[in-house]
Structure 1
Amino acid sequence: MSESTNLLVGEDDEVPQKRPKTHQSVQCSVQVKIESLPECLLLLIFARLEQVTDKCSVARTCRSWNRIAKDAVLWKDYALQETKSDFTTVRTFIASGLGSCLIDLDLQTFSSQSDFLYNKKVWPSFSNLERLRISSIDLRLLDFELLPSSLKSLTIYTDDHVTESIPARVKCSQPVLPNLEYLEIEDSQDVFANDAIEELHGLHFLLSSEHLHTVILKLMHYFFSLESLSKISKQLKNARHICLHSNAICDQRFKAFVSQLENVQILNLQFSEIEADMETLIVPSISNLKTLQEIYLSMFWELRPDHVKTMVKSLPELRRINVYRCRWIKEVHLNEIEKMREGLKCEFPRYMRLSLF
């Protein structure tokens, strides 16, 4: 024994020996079956299932598990993105009785010829859906009266391969989607009948929600009558962000649309052809929108610098102007445009951003 050890242990003392390691298995006489676990533990287990198909399988096991699988905790931050053309995941949700759990549904790509989305039995399954995005759909075949009334956001991108000439209309004959807050429709399909551009009938029924604050309508192939624009404008009087891209527009139709936008803050307008006087109608109509903060004008060919200054002087809340495809922009030098920007900033102390393309 070394000297350092002797300092701690006397000559007559015994050095304690290390206990040998033993590997004994502990047996539990109590057996716990998964069906006997309390619901709170089952909920924690279900929450750890990463694949949504596994959660659907759990929901189909028995009634009690189906009830637990519908708990809002499991689906609070879940957004279903369906990329399969046969709607495999969506069909699984419906078969599992979990359609009512979905809040956010994104149907990205599918054939517009599929009858799945046009089926009356599909949409009642999604009774609590709040956000819906659909791509490559034939706008003329979708019945909006079938969509769940719980929807707050609806985005539709139509199929640009549809060429069949059938009447263009939104399928609804009464106000729908009373809780809608955000609506975006971008229609790239060519809809011609006897070389005449059809009107998108029934659109104003989609705009009947009192909560609607953002409306984006990119419908360059459609022609709106004076009566339709008046109806649409009335429905949008409480909207704050409005975007309208449409076909040719004339004096009375432009005035009918713009004059009733009482609370608009962001306005985006583009028309394939404008048959309206810029000096006496378009600029005065826009200048009456006192709540306007941002404005985007595209293809307003006759717009001139003095028109821009008139709008800036008349609109106390205006902070940003974007002008695209304007004749005088092409004719002047870039230095003159920069001088105009600086002149507006000096003349109006509030922040002003002018973008010209």
Structure 2
Amino acid sequence: MALDPPPRKRRRIAVVQDTVICRLSDDVLLHIFGYLDVLSVLRSSRTCRQWHRLAADRTLWQHVDVTRFKMDTKRLWKFIRRHGSDKMKSLSVRGLATDPAKLGKKKAVLISSSLAADINSRCSNLEHLHLFNCDLRDLQLSNLPTMKLRTLHLHNCVLSANWLQVDIEVEGRRGRRECILPHLNTLNLHQSAMIARYDLIQITYLSQLKHLDLSQCYRVDDQGLMTVSEHVPGIVYLNISGCTRVTDASMHRVGRHLNQLRVLEMKNLFRLTDLGISCIANMCHKLEVLDISLCTAVSDASVMELATKLSQLKKLNVSLCHQLSDNCLESISLLLPSCLIITKMTTD
């Protein structure tokens, strides 16, 4: 019986790398890689051993945006274990919560409590966390790396009731409580439907908060908005567009307490009338951007008052305010010559 011949050894072919980029030092290549997005860095790591080694450098993974990828829990966990470190400053991920076929299933969870704990331990210096379309009902806010967070975006995320638990009791110290987001200055809760009055009460513990986005949170009402206005006076950006329960009743508190406001977006508040707009005109003198588009109950009188009293306005959106006359629009253009006045809804 004939024996099989021994396997032939592969001959290594020497490749002479004499191109300009191959003669660059590691420091220069790292600087170039710093301009690439996540996908480009991952593809570059397959080029050669040197680039594979450089692509794993922690300095390239300080600001990570993987929202363009469809990632489940397993893939995200593998990615965090490979690239997560204390050098990471920002992380943006997209879940599958908008897919009706996967909502409620294990794949839609994306960030489990175990994965959150791993992110917390590996990325302890995380400052900016952006979560899009994530199902967070089985996760608590305290599971996330919150102590150094400055920005938290929960865009269209599925939350449980009373999920935004900011003020918690210190473990082992009965009766002592602390804020787990002491440095947060930007909170975006756009289209997070379960945000209600209790969550707004929790927001009052965020003493450093400057930017607050509650757009499309339809459970937000006057009482919750008044509570936030009274206890977080340092807010300079407020977006309550689509909060259809908000009426004129809360506008006086907003104008009285949020006197540092620079940007106020109140799109599609159909219950807002001239009375509420007048409160804003008389109290928010530092306002630079105001959006009252689709506020169909607003008339010429209050808009003229805005143009007269808010001299620092740089942008005013009054599109689809059907009660405004052409004479009113011409008058505010004359009163605010340096202000961009939007009278027609765009597709942006």
TM-score of the superposed pair, with normalisation by structure 2: 0.67
Q: 1:290 aligns with which of 275, 279, 285?
A: 285
CA distance 1:292–1:92, change in 2 (3 Å): same
- Would the aligned equivalents of 2:93 and 2:132 in 1 still touch at CA under 8 Å? yes
Displacement of 1:93? 4.0
Give runs of aligned pairs for residues 87-166 of structure 1, distance below 5 A.
87-96=73-82, 98-111=84-97, 113=104, 114=106, 115-119=109-113, 120-124=116-120, 125-138=122-135, 140-148=137-145, 149-159=147-157
Give runs of aligned pairs for residues 241-280 of structure 1, distance below 5 A.
241-245=237-241, 246-270=243-267, 272-274=269-271, 278-279=274-275
Alignment length (residue pairs)? 286
Instruction: Provide the secondary structure at the position in 1 that maps to 2:323.
Output: helix
Displacement of 1:267? 0.6
Per-residue CA shift, 1:103-136, capped at 9, x if unaligned? 2222123345444424052341321222222121
1:51 equivalent in alignment to 2:42: yes
- Would the aligned equivalents of 2:150 and 2:185 in 1 still touch at CA under 8 Å? yes
Within 1, Cα distance between the matches of 2:27 and 2:298? 62
In the alignment, residue 352 of structure 1 is paired with which amino acid? C
Corresponding residue for residue 178 of structure 1: 182
Corresponding residue for residue 230 of structure 1: 226
CA distance 1:103–1:82, change in 2 (3 Å): farther
- Would the aligned equivalents of 1:214 and 1:242 in 2 still touch at CA under 8 Å? yes
Per-residue CA shift, 1:206-263, capped at 9, x if unaligned? 464444332221134214352x323311354222221113132344333233421111
**Runs of at least 5 residues in structure 2 that lack an aligned partner in the other structure:** 1-24, 34-39, 98-102, 169-178
Instruction: Provide the secondary structure at the position in 1 that maps to 2:292.
Output: strand
Give runs of aligned pairs for residues 342-357 of structure 1, distance below 5 A.
342-346=330-334, 348=335, 350-357=337-344
Per-residue CA shift, 1:140-190, capped at 9, x if unaligned? 554222222222222222258x9xxx745424444332222322222265x
Q: Please identify the structure whose Cα radius of gyration is greater.
A: 1
Within 2, Cα distance between the matches of 1:225 and 1:341? 30
Identity of aligned residues (%): 15
Give runs of aligned pairs for residues 314-353 of structure 1, distance below 5 A.
314-329=309-324, 337=326, 339-346=327-334, 348=335, 350-353=337-340
Within 2, Cα distance between the matches of 1:349 and 1:136? 40
Corresponding residue for residue 176 of structure 2: none
- Would the aligned equivalents of 1:136 and 1:159 in 2 still touch at CA under 8 Å? yes
Q: 1:75 aligns with which of 61, 71, 84?
A: 61
Instruction: Provide the secondary structure at the position in 1 that maps to 2:198.
Output: coil
- Would the aligned equivalents of 2:65 and 2:93 in 1 still touch at CA under 8 Å? no
Q: 1:239 aligns with which of 232, 235, 238?
A: 235
Displacement of 1:340? 3.5
TM-score of the superposed pair, with normalisation by structure 1: 0.65
Alignment RMSD, CA only? 3.8
Per-residue CA shift, 1:273-304, capped at 9, x if unaligned? 42x6524x541344210101121113432211
Instruction: Provide the secondary structure at the position in 2 that maps to 1:183.
Output: strand
Instruction: Provide the secondary structure at the position in 2 that maps to 1:122.
Output: helix
